[in-house]
Structures are given as C-alpha cells and as structure tokens.
C-alpha cells in the first residue's frame, strides 16, 4: 500500500429507505494497491454503501470520485466501465445459463452481424477459470454448481476487465479453505497490480490476515479508519458495537437427560458412511470438519431432505422413518439450514410471517397462533438477536444479509423442536450477535433440548459443544468430550489422520 492519491473516494453519502436511514453521511477513501476492510454490525450499511458505489443504488446525497474526479454511477455496467467491480453478498447469477454467459452477461462477445461468438466466449472464460483453479468449465450450467463454486463464478466475473477497484462483499462465507486460499491469491495479484480492494467480512482472522486498513460503520455512520497493523480485534469491536465483548464466559455444563436422538450405521451413498452418534436432552453435540466432509448431508438426512441408504434413526428410543421435512418436524427435529436464502426464507414476505409461519406449508394443522402472539414471538427474538428492522411489517428481502439470517434462526429457536440442528449458525453474523447466538444455543440445551451444531469455525464448536464429532471424508473419525479436546487433536481428526477407535 502506498500513500498515493486515492483511486476512489466517497464523500458524505446519504441513502434512505422508507423508515431507515441506511447511510448517514459516509466518507471512505480507497488507495491503489490496498486491501481496505469495511466492517460494522449486521445492518450497519456496508452492502448499501457498496451498492451505491457499484451503481446499483442512487444516493440521496454525496459524491463519488474516481482519481479525484466526480462520477455518477447509474448502473452496474457503467460502474464496471469505470473500473469498479462488485462481487455480491447475495449471489446474483442466472441458474439456467452457462458459466460463460453469466460471466459476460450483457457483454457477450459478438461476431459481425451481431451473432454471439461462442468460441471466443468459451475460450476467454476458460482462461479466466484456469487462473482460479476451479474444477468446472465455461459450459457448465450455473444451477448445477455448488454455492461455493457459484461464488467463484462471481469472482471470475470481476476479472473480465482490468479493474481499478474491486469490492468483495462477504466473499468467503461459503468457500472452503482451499477456495479461500485461491481467493486470497487473487486478491494478492490484484493488489500487486495496484488495484484497490474493498473487503467486507465478519471474520476477524481474515481481516487481520489480508487487509491494510479497516473502516468501520455503525448505524449508517462512518466511525473511523484504523491501520490493521496498529490495531486489535478488541479496538475494532469497540468501534463497531460501542463496547468490548466478554469472550471469557465459558458455558455452564449441566446434567444431561435421556437420549433424544440416536443414529446407528447411517450411510448415504458416497456422501457419508456408517455414521453413529447420539445426542441427549440438554446436550450440544458439535460436528466439526472440512467443508465437504458430509456434515451438512447428515443434517439433511435427519431433516428428511435425503434418503439414507442404510442405518437407523431413533427419536426417544423409537425407530423412525423420516421421508420429508414434515416427518422430521412431526418427530420433533428442526434444521436451520446452511443455505438460509434457498431453504429458510420467503424473501417477499414480511419479517413476522417468515419467523412464525410453519416451516412447511402443509403443516398448517399445527396449533393456531393468533396475530398478536406472532408479533410477540417476533418481538422477543428481534430483541434477543438484535434484528435491525423498522418493524415486523418490513419485507425480509429488504433486510441486510445478516439480519435475514437472524430471522431464520429466530424462527427455529421459537419453534423449539426437541432436536434442533443448526448448520453454520453464525455465518455472516456480526461479532456481537455471534456470542448472543452461542448463548441462545446453550440456553436451549439448558432447558433440556438436544442441539446439534455444525460449524467450520473451531472456536465456535469448542465454545458451544459438550461433545464434538470430528468428521473426515464422510466418516466420524472421533468423538471428543469438551473436557478432553484440544485444537491439535481436533485438527488431526478432521485431516483423516486418526481412525475412530472401535469401542
Ligand atoms: N431495499 C431496501 N429497503 C429498505 N431497507 C433497506 C433496503 N436495503 C437495505 N435496507 C436497510 O438498510 C440498512 C443497511 O443494510 P445493509 O444491507 O447495508 O447492511 P450490512 O451492513 O451490509 O449488514 P450485513 O452485515 O448484515 O450484511 C438495514 O437496516 C437494511 O434493513
Ligand atoms: Mg451486507
């Protein structure tokens, strides 16, 4: 990073929505060759600011300057033309189109007479994909890709021009560690070329690993910029949420009840094999492993989204067959899915209804809940999870990414299934709310619920779990009690170095 003139400057940006002053006079400066973190709580205004910069939203007030000259960004394509590329928090790809078409959408290479030059399109795309080390090609249909790979397509899209500035809005939320390494390499390359990078993430370790400066927003206001090398996580947190976090509080361990869920010899094709575990009432069982180890697939099987090829599932001692989510809910099993956008929310519906409507349509035979009671449930979880919205009538699609996640989490917590499975509970959640979600999980257990937490964050599993099942390549390698587990032994187990000891 140099102290050269900024590539980009935002001055006094104001953006309002009905009932919300999302940005209240924000300034930001981006220098060539720097990675600049933009941090703030869920709903602080990060994505909105970037949408203004990327030509997706028009500000009510304020100026954008590129090389100190004011510009107006009226569309994403125009922003891209001016060298500002935006990689979104919400994936904005067309499922039915190929990778190549998505990458060059609106700018497909053409031959004379306007016909699309497919040969050139695929060749150019494959060349970009090669630099990203991905295992799919230009012709692949985007809908057939995993979320992580779709994210890589978004990234590839940014590399089609020679950008001045690239915005990454929570790019690593669904990436594997290997893909993260590729992404960080891409960022290094861009940096070396003098491109300015704005990087949004709630993951402190990434922020401290790759950024040069950190700017903080709070409630739509600019709170300051820190040099990463000269600051600490605590100082950043202070600036973000106005207080320090007490992370020392270790969870209370309490007596466990009877076995609520017991899984024996469960297999599902090549996804996972011969998986056995049980969870007691009052217990939190953590599942730790690399992305792709089979954790999510086990959760999906327990929730009736996948059919096991072998094995048994018992709830309260009785063997059950779970053919669909309706069955799962009937047996008292709930799932907060990893992909909350796809599986957990109706974006066009308001906050209250998203939180309180039964998960599955034909479950409407459940107990009748009055409107007032629904609002009360919503209010309770809004306060507890600190969901930022002007009111329950707000359409969920208008909430910030993290606040949408909180709605899904609140919904499942309020349904209080006997066995609750939460897949990556704090992905995309800010540091303050993260510890509150951990507390809620521990509270549920204390009340006698059985909870399964799947997480890729080691501090998280270590913090919330009573026991931890370490998975590698579709198998449980070892199950640790909280008292005996160490970081080293956990890493060893998920790397496939230590086989499950036969009991
Ligand atoms: N289209 C919209 N209509 C109404 N309100 C909106 C709209 N878009 C954003 N908001 C509101 O503006 C505020 C800022 O949202 P924004 O998405 O910028 O937050 P964020 O900092 O990116 O949070 P997160 O970390 O959760 O992604 C929030 O209160 C959000 O609900
Ligand atoms: Mg956001």
Ion ligand 2: residue ranges with CB closer than 5 A: 47, 89, 400-401
**Would residue 253 count as lying in a domain?**
no
Mark which of 241, 272, 289 sits at the end of a domain.
241
Return the pLDDT at 364: 45
Return the pLDDT at 342: 63
Whether ligand 1 lies within 6 angstroms of the CB of 388 is answered as yes
Span from the CA of 387 to the centroid of ligand 2 (angstroms): 13
My answer on whether 366 and 231 are in the same domain is no
**Would residue 251 count as lying in a domain?**
no
Query: Whose atoms come closest to the Cα of 405: which ligand?
Result: 1
**Would residue 499 count as lying in a domain?**
no
Contact 453, 287 (CB under 8 A): yes
Whether ligand 1 lies within 6 angstroms of the CB of 236 is answered as no
Whether ligand 1 lies within 6 angstroms of the CB of 187 is answered as no
Pocket test for ligand 1, best of 16, 23, 48 (most atoms within 8 A of CB): 48
Number of domains observed in the structure of the chain: 2
Nearest CA to ligand 1 atom 27: 401
Whether ligand 1 lies within 6 angstroms of the CB of 201 is answered as no
Span from the CA of 47 to the centroid of ligand 1 (angstroms): 7
Pocket test for ligand 1, best of 14, 26, 43 (most atoms within 8 A of CB): 43
DSSP 8-state class, residue 114 = G
Rg (CA), the chain: 24
**Would residue 502 count as lying in a domain?**
no
Nearest CA to ligand 1 atom 24: 42
Query: Whose atoms come closest to the Cα of 45: which ligand?
Result: 1
**Would residue 375 count as lying in a domain?**
yes
Contact 392, 410 (CB under 8 A): no
My answer on whether 237 and 380 are in the same domain is no
Span from the CA of 403 to the centroid of ligand 2 (angstroms): 9
Return the pLDDT at 246: 65
Return the pLDDT at 346: 85
My answer on whether 162 and 52 are in the same domain is yes
**Would residue 324 count as lying in a domain?**
yes
My answer on whether 29 and 120 are in the same domain is yes
Span from the CA of 124 to the centroid of ligand 2 (angstroms): 31
My answer on whether 300 and 216 are in the same domain is no
My answer on whether 237 and 285 are in the same domain is no
Whether ligand 1 lies within 6 angstroms of the CB of 59 is answered as no
Span from the CA of 168 to the centroid of ligand 1 (angstroms): 16
My answer on whether 181 and 289 are in the same domain is no
d(CA 158, CA 193): 14
My answer on whether 63 and 27 are in the same domain is yes
My answer on whether 476 and 366 are in the same domain is yes
- Structural domain containing residue 103: 8-241
Q: What is the mean pLDDT of each run of 10 residues along the chain (503 residues)?
A: 79 94 96 97 95 95 95 90 85 88 89 90 94 89 86 86 90 76 88 94 93 97 96 94 69 81 95 96 93 89 95 96 92 85 79 76 48 84 88 91 87 86 89 86 90 91 94 93 90 74 44
My answer on whether 236 and 264 are in the same domain is no
- The DSSP bridge partners found for residue 167 are 86, 198
Whether ligand 1 lies within 6 angstroms of the CB of 289 is answered as no
**Would residue 51 count as lying in a domain?**
yes
d(CA 133, CA 152): 10
Mark which of 241, 275, 302 sits at the end of a domain.
241
My answer on whether 200 and 273 are in the same domain is no
Contacts of 155 (CB under 8 A, 6+ apart): 87, 132, 171, 183, 186
Return the pLDDT at 476: 94
Mark which of 209, 241, 273 sits at the end of a domain.
241
Whether ligand 1 lies within 6 angstroms of the CB of 55 is answered as no
- What Å distances lie between residue 312 and 264, 331, 420, 452, 472, CA to CA? 5, 14, 18, 18, 21
Return the CATH number at 190. 3.40.50.300
Whether ligand 1 lies within 6 angstroms of the CB of 400 is answered as yes
Whether ligand 1 lies within 6 angstroms of the CB of 387 is answered as no
**Would residue 331 count as lying in a domain?**
yes
My answer on whether 371 and 464 are in the same domain is yes
Return the pLDDT at 502: 41
Contacts of 429 (CB under 8 A, 6+ apart): 42, 202, 402, 405, 406, 437
Give one word for 55, left, alpha or beta, with left for phi > 0 and alpha for psi -120 to 50: left
């Amino acid at each position: 990073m140099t102290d050269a003139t900024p590539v980009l400057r935002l001055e006094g940006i104001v953006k309002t929505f009905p009932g919300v002053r999302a940005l209240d006079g924000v300034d930001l400066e981006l220098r060539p060759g720097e990675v600049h973190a933009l941090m703030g709580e869920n709903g602080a205004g990060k994505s909105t600011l970037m949408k203004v910069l990327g030509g997706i939203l028009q500000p009510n007030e304020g100026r954008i300057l590129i090389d100190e000259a004011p510009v107006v960004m009226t569309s994403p394509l125009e922003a891209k033309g001016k060298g500002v590329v935006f990689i979104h928090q919400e994936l904005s790809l067309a499922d039915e189109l190929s990778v190549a078409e998505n990458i060059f959408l609106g700018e497909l290479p053409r031959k004379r007479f306007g016909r699309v030059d497919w040969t050139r399109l695929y060749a150019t795309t494959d060349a970009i994909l090669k630099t990203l080390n991905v295992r799919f090609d230009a012709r692949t249909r985007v809908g057939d890709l995993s979320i992580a790979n779709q994210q890589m397509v978004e990234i590839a899209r940014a590399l089609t021009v020679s950008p001045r500035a690239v915005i990454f809005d929570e790019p690593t939320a669904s990436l594997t560690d290997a893909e993260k390494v590729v992404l960080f390499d891409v960022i290094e390359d861009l940096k070396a070329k003098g491109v300015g990078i704005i990087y949004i993430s709630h993951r402190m370790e990434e922020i401290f690993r790759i950024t040069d400066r950190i700017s903080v927003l709070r409630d739509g206001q600019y709170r300051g910029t820190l040099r990463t090398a000269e600051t600490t996580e605590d100082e950043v947190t202070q600036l973000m949420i106005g207080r320090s976090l007490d992370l020392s509080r270790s969870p209370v361990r309490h007596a466990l009840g009877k076995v609520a869920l017991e899984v024996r010899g469960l297999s599902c094709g090549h996804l996972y094999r011969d998986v056995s575990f049980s969870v007691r009432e009052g217990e939190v069982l953590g599942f730790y492993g690399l992305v792709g180890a089979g954790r999510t697939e086990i959760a999906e099987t327990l929730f009736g989204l996948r059919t096991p090829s072998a094995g048994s599932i018992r709830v309260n001692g009785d063997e059950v067959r779970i053919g669909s989510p309706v069955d799962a809910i009937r047996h008292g099993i709930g799932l907060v899915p990893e992909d909350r956008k796809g599986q957990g929310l109706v974006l066009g519906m308001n906050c209250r209804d998203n939180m309180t409507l039964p998960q599955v349509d034909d479950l409407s035979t459940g107990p009748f809940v009055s409107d007032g009671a629904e609002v009360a449930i919503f209010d309770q979880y809004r306060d507890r999870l600190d969901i930022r919205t002007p009111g329950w009538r707000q359409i969920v699609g208008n909430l910030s990414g993290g606040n949408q996640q909180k709605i899904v989490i609140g919904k499942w917590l309020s349904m209080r299934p006997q066995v609750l499975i939460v897949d990556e509970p704090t992905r995309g959640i800010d540091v303050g709310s993260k510890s509150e979600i951990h507390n809620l999980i521990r509270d549920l257990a204390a009340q006698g619920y059985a909870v399964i937490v799947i997480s890729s964050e080691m501090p998280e599993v270590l913090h919330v779990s009573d026991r931890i099942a370490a998975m590698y390549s579709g198998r449980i390698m070892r199950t640790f009690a909280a008292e005996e587990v160490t970081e080293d032994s956990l890493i060893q187990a998920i790397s496939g170095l230590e086989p499950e000891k036969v009991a």
